Amino acid sequence: MTGSVRTRFAPSPTGELHIGGLRTALFQWAFVQANGGKLILRIEDTDQSRYVEGSIENIIEGLRWLGIEWDEGPDVGGPHGPYIQSERLAKYQTVAGELRARDRAYRCFCSSERLSQLRKDQQKDGLSPGYDGRCRAIPPIQAEERALTEPSVLRFRMDRTGVTNFHDLIRGDVTFQNSLQDDFVIIKTDGFPTYHLAMLVDDHDMEITHVIRAEEWLASGPKHLQLYDAMGWSPPHFAHLPLLVDAQGRKLSKRFGDVSALDYRDRGYLPEAMLNFLTFLGWSLDDKTTHITGDELKQAFTLDRVVPNPAFFDVERLDALNGHYIRSLNPEPWSKNVAEWLSRDLPTDVPRPLDSALVSALAPLLQERITRLDEVATLSRFMFGDRPDYPMDLLVERIDGDSELAALTLDEALSALGDIEPLDWGLGSVEAAIRGLQDRLDLKLRKFVSVLYVAIMGAPRGIPLFDSIALLGREEALIRLQGARSKLP
């Protein structure tokens, strides 16, 4: 399969690009890359009431953050434009007129109140909600006369006999009973097409060969295939991707994990980690590969390796992957990341530009401890600006509330570190002094250092302690230890 493959990513500009949509776009991109095809970006804005300013820019930014590029679209142009549906209204009206001429579409005058009551009655009777065909038999001439004074929509006349079959490239053969389908709206009262009509017309005009989309659209298969048949057009191949679910098996949503793609970026996830994570949500290369690059994915992706079962969106797995990619970064790009995130997240009262030598020294310490870039400033804050403030209880939290032991630890640390000559101060001398102190007090290292972590950083954990004390310098380290000691009896 080479050369002729064309698929599209067609989001609606009703808000931010969410992670589920990003997974769909990634699979589409990988598919066309693996098959020498083209990816088209199309904006489906026919529901003008839900349009959100800035959505298109957010979608484009989110796609490019992950490294997804397209061959045709509203920003890059192409031979099949325009690529924004609201700029293609005349085409939809033409096709709607053809459907009416073929008696496959009719005007419906039912009010929203009647349709709402119809749904309630159907639900009360245990029936599936759907249009009851009340306006199906209105003669076309009479319908046109009424349309001059009454609001109406245009509905597609479904063939409700027999079945609709098609082969899904992920799920295999799929069958729907046509008797369970209802006549659906294709042109709304405002003259705009619904998704079903606009999508089909655009896919035909843009020569789309493969429609790769979310599972939620599987049930619309009969509608779309009957529309294709009514127009005498050949349908594309369909592939419906598996749902993304959370740990409780719930479909991802704004409420349950499906947040904006750029929110993940802004929380410090690397695009390489997100690409790797999303790739394996429903697809696998083999039974052993757990990491893959974009270049490798472009070579390896096939739809027959996508499974139809729901894919678990495991945030812990994402965090672990992100930590892996953070630790794999070379020193120079990693130090650049640290500098950028410190400048972004440190309080505004911390003087800029930051001390480049200090940033460079902190970078390797942070690289081994964090899983997201938004932790950079949190774990480094103690090195910049004011000394940390914390309650006395935090000093004794991990030593069972033993304030006497905490006081002894701090006294001994002050003595041991104070004995280091200024010219001898460094990582080696600091580590030797503290380890010797641990031996004298006969304490487990975890409990012992928790007191020192709080004294130095204001938190019971953080970046490596010995390095941090050495970086602070002798004078500042002793001041902080003394400040902690003064909080205790």
Please give the full DSSP string across 334-363, using - where no structure is assigned. HHHHHHHHHHHHS-TTS-SS--HHHHHHHH
In-domain check, residue 320? no
Of 401, 400, 408, residue with least CA distance to 452: 408
- 46 and 107: one domain? no
Strand partners, 283: 306
With b for 16 or more beta-carbon neighbours within 10 A and e for fewer, the 292-331 pattern comes to bebeebeebbebeebebebbebeeeebbebbbbbbeebee
Residue 162 phi/psi, 5-degree rounding, is 70, -150
In-domain check, residue 324? no
Look at residue 48 in the predicted model and tell me its pLDDT.
Answer: 83
Which residues of the chain carry a pLDDT beneath 70?
1-3, 254-258
- 185 and 233: one domain? yes
Of 381, 400, 417, the domain-final residue = 381
Domain count for the chain: 4
In-domain check, residue 79? yes
- 21 and 32: one domain? yes
Of 394, 435, 303, 365, residue with least CA distance to 27: 303
- 285 and 401: one domain? no
Look at residue 2 in the predicted model and tell me its pLDDT.
Answer: 46
- 271 and 370: one domain? no
- 189 and 98: one domain? yes
- 190 and 74: one domain? no
- 479 and 413: one domain? yes
In-domain check, residue 186? yes
- 65 and 203: one domain? no
Q: The CATH number of the domain where 461 resides is what? A: 1.10.10.350
Q: The CATH number of the domain where 283 resides is what? A: 3.40.50.620
Active site residues: 254
Strand partners, 176: 164
Which residue in the block uniquely carries the two structure tokens 């019971």? 460
CB atoms within 10 A of CB 332: 10
- Residue 328 CB partners (closer than 8 Å, separation 6+): none
Look at residue 287 in the predicted model and tell me its pLDDT.
Answer: 87
Q: Which long-range contacts (CB under 8 A, 24 or more apart) does 428-437 make?
A: 430/466, 430/469, 430/470, 431/466, 434/465, 434/466, 434/469, 437/409, 437/412, 437/413
Measured CA to CA, the distance from residue 71 to residue 236 in angstroms comes to 19
Structural domain range at position 185:
88-241
- 102 and 233: one domain? yes
Measured CA to CA, the distance from residue 278 to residue 217 in angstroms comes to 20
Reduce the DSSP state of residue 40 to 3 states and report it. strand
Reduce the DSSP state of residue 49 to 3 states and report it. helix
- 21 and 74: one domain? yes
- 150 and 13: one domain? no
In-domain check, residue 317? no
